[in-house]
């Protein structure tokens, strides 16, 4: 497979991994704590805290997967995924506006790219 195509597929694969992990965790949390999702207003604080934790796990897994798929230059690919995650965090913050606390949006924008890079670093370090 040509290098650039593999790189693109690696980043897409890492992002899809993140999305799947977040969807699975969200489904579990909705089942275990449905009251956190009942209101139309801003999300409740316990949900935000749990969401930050499982989003970190998802981003870490995405970074690991992108590095695994890319094979060559795993850390650089994890950084590329981290950049994509940062851009998507900014888009999300703009889209949600005041419906989510700014501290939460800022924390996601800072921690999730870092988690993706750490996931890629772990695979690179183990190799």
- Structural contact between residues 16 and 69, judged by C-beta atoms closer than 8 angstroms: no
Does pLDDT of 86 surpass 80? Answer: yes
pLDDT in tens, 54-83: 999 999 999 999 999 998 999 999 999 999
Question: What pLDDT shows up at residue 1?
Answer: 63
DSSP 37-101: G--SSSPPHHHHHHHHHHHHHHHHHHHHHHHHHH-SSHHHHHHHHHHHHHHHHHHHHHHHGGGS-
Q: How far is CA 36 from CA 8, 13, 85, 103, 119, in A?
A: 36, 30, 25, 19, 29
How does residue 48 score in pLDDT terms, banded at 50, 70 and 90?
very high
- Structural contact between residues 80 and 86, judged by C-beta atoms closer than 8 angstroms: no
Q: Which of 33, 37, 48, 59 is nearest to 102 (CA)?
A: 48
CA 115-116-119 angle, to 5 degrees, is 85
């Amino acid at each position: 497979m040509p290098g650039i195509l593999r790189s693109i597929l690696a980043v897409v694969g890492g992002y899809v991994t993140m999305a799947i992990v977040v969807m699975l965790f969200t489904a579990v949390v909705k089942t275990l704590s449905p009251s956190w999702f009942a209101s139309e207003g801003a999300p409740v604080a316990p949900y935000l805290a749990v969401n930050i934790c499982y989003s970190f796990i998802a981003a870490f897994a995405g970074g690991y997967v992108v590095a695994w798929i890319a094979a060559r230059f795993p850390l650089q690919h994890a950084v590329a995924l981290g950049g994509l995650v940062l851009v998507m965090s900014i888009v999300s913050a703009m889209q949600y506006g005041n419906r989510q606390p700014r501290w939460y949006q800022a924390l996601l924008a800072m921690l999730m790219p870092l988690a993706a890079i750490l996931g890629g670093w772990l695979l690179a370090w183990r190799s």
